[in-house]
């Protein structure tokens, strides 16, 4: 029940295209859902995060869509650029309690020039 399932494992997108990464969770107590971006040789960095009181959050070219009833959330990268090529991790946590993140397994995105 603590797992966060992430798909796809890898993704290749043409420059200018839309990249979509999906995550699903089971524990309804999760109430904070961040996405992290990791470049090779670097630590993960927070990209965007959402709480379940909204269904969508947009920051620049990055959008999180959240479906509370389906217990799913997804990251959309509009107008994907080669500089977006990285590994993306979704995570889930509870804002009360232990605060620890449960991470998905990661999606390796490659945007072709």
Partner 1 sequence: DAGVIQSPRHEVTEMGQEVTLRCKPISGHNSLFWYRQTMMRGLELLIYFNNNVPIDDSGMPEDRFSAKMPNASFSTLKIQPSEPRDSAVYFCASSRQGLAGQGEQYFGPGTRLTVT
Q: Which residues pair with 24 in a beta bridge?
A: 5, 72
**CB 1 within 8 Å of CB 27:** yes
Tokens standing for residue 13: 């997108």
Binding mask 17-56 for partner 1 (x = CB under 8 A): ---------------x-x-x----xxxxxx--x-------
Judged by CB under 8 A, the residue of 10, 28, 55, 95 near partner 1 is 95
**Residue 1 in contact with partner 1, rule: CB under 8 A:** no
Q: How far is the CB of 70 from partner 1 (least distance, A)?
A: 23
3-state secondary structure of 18: coil
Q: How far is the CB of 22 from partner 1 (least distance, A)?
A: 16
Question: Among 67, 38, 37, which Cα is nearest to 50's?
Answer: 67
């Amino acid at each position: 029940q603590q797992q966060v399932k992430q798909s796809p494992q890898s993704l290749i997108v043409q420059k200018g295209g839309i990249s979509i990464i999906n995550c699903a969770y089971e524990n309804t107590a999760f109430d904070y859902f961040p996405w992290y971006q990791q470049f090779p040789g670097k630590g993960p960095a927070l990209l965007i995060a959402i709480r379940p009181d909204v269904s969508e959050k947009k920051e620049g070219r990055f959008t999180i869509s959240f479906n509370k009833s389906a217990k799913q959330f997804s990251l959309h990268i509009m107008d994907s650029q080669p500089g977006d090529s990285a590994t993306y991790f979704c995570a889930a946590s509870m804002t009360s309690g232990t605060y620890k993140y449960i991470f998905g397994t990661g999606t390796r995105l490659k945007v072709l020039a």
